[in-house]
Structure 1
Amino acid sequence: MNLFEKTGKMALGSRLRLLTAKVTEDASKIYELYNVEFSPKWFPIFFILSEEGEKTITEIANDVGHSQPSITKIIKEMTIAGLVQENLKTSDKRRNMVALTEKGKILSEKFSIQYQDVGNAIESIMNEATHNLWEAIEEWEFLLEQKTLFKRVQEQKKLRESKNVQIVDYESRYHSAFKSLNMEWISTYFEMEEADYKALDNPKEYILDKGGKILIALYDNEPVGVCALIKMNDTDFEMAKMAVSPKAQGKNIGFLLGEAIVKTAKELGASKLYLESNTILKPAINLYYKLGFQKVAGLPTPYKRCNIQMELNLLEK
């Protein structure tokens, strides 16, 4: 059985490299066919210089889509072959210009017949093929520009792992996790304050007995995330004390906790959900916006670290 029949689509990169190797091998033979001493990897740079004239290495790198060190290395090879020259005299001495030599220009003219034959050969393959590879590549390039393959795999990993997350109500056995997870993240960025100790040392008295809730996120039955819903008055609640273990980040736990808190607040008859945070916590702020929170004018706060306050209107959600 063919390797790619076994691996499936996950070997896309390997299959593309193999296809590229086949085309590059033929390209070398094609240059020999036309009695041209030329390396296929030189072609993008050679084409740019023959069509547009002298350019800087930075400009060539941007046009070709390669790194500057890679372009510099190829330029040196082409210089040794006598096809290009660099360090041309310009009015701006800081600009290292590269251009074709006379040998390069003569070769460029010679390539016109070869271009025509190669173009026709590729066109014949496209006519025989069911799918237009050129258009497919353009489409893939566009889609990967919008969102990389790495990002897409990251999202799939998060989606799969989030299915193993359970959101459960607080029980006394989760007290140590509720306290330690919050102390860990607060101490990482700020300092523990008096209001923190009140809520974390006595969650039953400070949160639960006053009509609030605490939710625990379990991953493989281990508490890895926590969030509290503190009752402010008959219609307003505060989302507070959200913390996720660093070892469990990237599993969508913060968002799942936030969604569960919003749902719980609605069930308790809340019309507004309020929170306090700090703008240095960019992932957290992005999460709150994703949940629908909007920034509001500053209200009295017991926390020194608070520099942003947000609110979610549950009657509109």
Structure 2
Amino acid sequence: MGVIEQSGILAIATRLQRLSERMRKDGLAIYKAHGIDFEPKWFPVVYTLHMKSQLSVVELANEIGYSHPSTISLLKELEKLKFIKSTKDKADERKRLLQLTEKGKAMIEQMKPVWEVMIAATTPLIDTKNNLMKAIEEVEHQLELQSFYQRALSLMAANQAEKSADQ
């Protein structure tokens, strides 16, 4: 067991990142094995536009849970590859509306059978005694109620108050 594994909960973000990187690397290999040139990092944008057909940049960023700058970075890559296009909103010219191009839609059709394979391969990985997807949903919900930072601040304040009371 390595140092990171021994550190337990202290390294949860590191362990989740490591797991994510491993899944992304294998996802890339699966796409390549099917002759699809697609980066897993593009998935949230492409899939969301597949499901919602047209969104503003802000709506898309909110939908995928990414910061505006991170979303813009992905959008630039996808526009350069001509997988997505943007048009100005007729009601508000400051707003860009995003949608898949015909090339993007064709790519989705090519990827649908691959997604079925990915779902079939991933399901037994996460369907354990402690079902990973359910655990992630529970943690995300808890973080919506109170962020990790807010929780730490509350504990630090309580510890400080306890020290003051002891003096």
Who is 1:31 aligned against? 31
Letter in structure 1 aligned against 2:126: M
Identity %: 28
Distance 2:70 2:121 in 1: 30
TM-score by length of 1: 0.50
Instruction: Report Cα offsets for 1:215-242 as digits up to 9, x if no partner.
Output: xxx4xxxxxxxxxxxxxxxxxxxxxxxx
Q: What secondary structure sits across from 2:7 in the alignment?
A: helix
Distance 2:148 2:88 in 1: 43
Distance 1:35 1:12 in 2: 35
Structure 2 counterparts to residues 1-317 of structure 1, below 5 A = 1-86=1-86, 88=87, 90-92=89-91, 93-127=93-127, 129-166=128-165, 218=167
| Higher fraction of helix | 2
Q: Which has more radius of gyration?
A: 1
Once the 2 structures are TM-superposed, how far is the Cα of residue 89 of structure 1 from its aligned partner? 5.1
| Higher fraction of strand | 1
Distance 1:15 1:51 in 2: 30
Letter in structure 2 aligned against 1:164: K
Aligned 8 A contact 2:61 2:71 in 1: yes
Aligned length: 166
RMSD over aligned CA atoms reads 1.6
Instruction: Report Cα offsets for 1:246-281 as digits up to 9, x if no partner.
Output: xxxxxxxxxxxxxxxxxxxxxxxxxxxxxxxxxxxx
Once the 2 structures are TM-superposed, how far is the Cα of residue 90 of structure 1 from its aligned partner? 4.3
Once the 2 structures are TM-superposed, how far is the Cα of residue 105 of structure 1 from its aligned partner? 0.7
Distance 2:96 2:49 in 1: 14
Aligned 8 A contact 2:49 2:99 in 1: yes
Letter in structure 2 aligned against 1:26: D
TM-score by length of 2: 0.91
Q: What secondary structure sits across from 1:134 in the alignment?
A: helix
Q: Which has the higher contact order (CA 8 A, sep 6+)?
A: 2
Compare 56-65 and 89-98 and name the one that shifted more: 89-98
Runs of 5+ in structure 2 lacking a partner? none
